[in-house]
Amino acid sequence: MATTTKVLSESVPSEDNYQIEQLQPVSDRGYGIGKQGIHNLTFGGAEFKNKRPKFASKLEERKHILQHMAGTFRVFGRKGYGEGQAGHISVRDPVDPHTFWINPLGLHFSQICASDMVHIDSEGKILSDGNQAAINAAGFKIHAELHKARPDVHAACHTHSTYGKAWSAFGKELDMINQDACIFYKQHAIYNDFGGVVFESEEGKRLAAALGFKKAIILQNHGLLTVGETVDEAGYLFTLLEKTCEVQLQVEMASRAGLERKLISDDAAYYTYFNTSDPEGLYSSFQVDYNLEVKLTDGEFLR
């Protein structure tokens, strides 16, 4: 059985220079623990096409980000994550990192296009190079504070999805009950201080503090929120977290019927997390849904 030791990382990007605890695996099963990356998942020597791209300019990167942001909304719409006017995705602008893009209020996820995105600064001013449309007030309070607190985060996703809302009622972390859940091993937090709809900056600050340096947070009595280096990473994490909540709820029902759940050990959970949760791998995982959306819509959302 593998064993783990705990070390304290001092190199986490942060304006506040926080430190986080990371597990470093020591395996006696012959498992190699090397570097994180998509190379851990690919095999056969052929070129893998879904790698995270590199850009010749920041404007080219911005175009890519807005298109993939719109594609993420389309995926969310197809999966049924919409709830009236609730739900928002934000992406930090690569040209001016102190600003970000967010969706307009009142447009169904399945209708959103790249040109619909609103460009806004940290004080809530709508900038002239984006869509001139109202945005969700609670969304701004949440995303503005997240981007301030986490310079390493370039995208954040939040919706009122069905199974996320259902599991959030328990105010509990998810169990490591399958391989996919291990992507959230020690990487999801609980915000258990629900005080109503987020209309105050202080509530956004408390939420950002609760997230810490993790990739996801379950907002008690509210729903799910995920973050990432790219909107693709945050989007994939959201779809996976929603499905993981659905599976957890099903396991809870089976347990009440008398079946005994089997949890994955810390060592196996960390080994799986390490090899499947890096930003490049999560970016590539989302391309499966993104490319399907391009095909289903004939790329209509790219405009």
pLDDT digit string (tens) for the chain, length 303 residues:
444 433 323 333 343 333 334 445 545 565 666 777 777 777 777 777 888 899 999 999 999 999 999 999 999 999 999 999 999 999 999 999 999 999 999 999 999 999 999 999 999 999 999 999 999 998 999 999 999 999 999 999 999 999 999 999 999 999 999 999 999 999 999 999 876 666 567 888 889 999 999 999 999 999 999 999 999 999 999 999 999 999 999 999 999 999 999 999 998 999 899 989 999 999 999 999 999 999 999 999 999
- In total, how many domains does the chain have? 1
CA distances from 52 to 38, 241, 283, 287 (A): 10, 21, 6, 10
Does 144 fall in a domain?
A: yes
Contacts of 194 (CB under 8 A, 6+ apart): 219, 220, 221, 222
Give CA–CA dist 273/109, Å, rounded: 30
What 8-state DSSP symbol labels residue 12? -
Q: Check residue 20 and give its pLDDT.
A: 33
Distance CA(235)–CA(69), nearest Å, equals 9
Domain membership flag for residue 112: yes
- Asked whether residue 44 is domain-assigned, the answer is no
Asked, for residue 26, whether it belongs to a domain, the answer is no
Tell how strand 88-92 and strand 99-102 pair up.
Answer: antiparallel
* Locus of tokens 């056969």: 44
Q: Which amino acid is at 57?
A: S
Residue 245's contacts (CB-CB under 8 Å, 6 or more residues apart) are 163, 164, 166, 167, 174, 218, 224
Q: Mind listing the pLDDT tens digit for each residue in 227-272? A: 999 999 999 999 999 999 999 999 999 999 999 999 999 989 998 9
> Under 8 Å CB-to-CB from 239, ≥6 apart: which residues?
75, 76, 79, 286, 289
CA–CA distance, 102 with 39 (Å, rounded to integer): 32
Question: What sign for the dihedral angle of Cα 130, 136, 138, 143?
Answer: negative
Asked if residue 113 belongs to a domain, the reply is yes
User: Residue 270 sits in which domain range?
Assistant: 58-297
| CATH code of the domain in which 77 resides | 3.40.225.10
Residue 161, domain member (yes or no): yes
- Regarding beta strands 188-191 and 216-219, do their DSSP bridges make them parallel or antiparallel, or are they unpaired? parallel
Asked if residues 215 and 244 have their Cβ atoms less than 8 Å apart, the reply is no
- Phi and psi for 174 in degrees, rounded to 5? -80, 150
Does residue 171 form part of some domain? yes
Domain assignment of residue 91, yes or no: yes
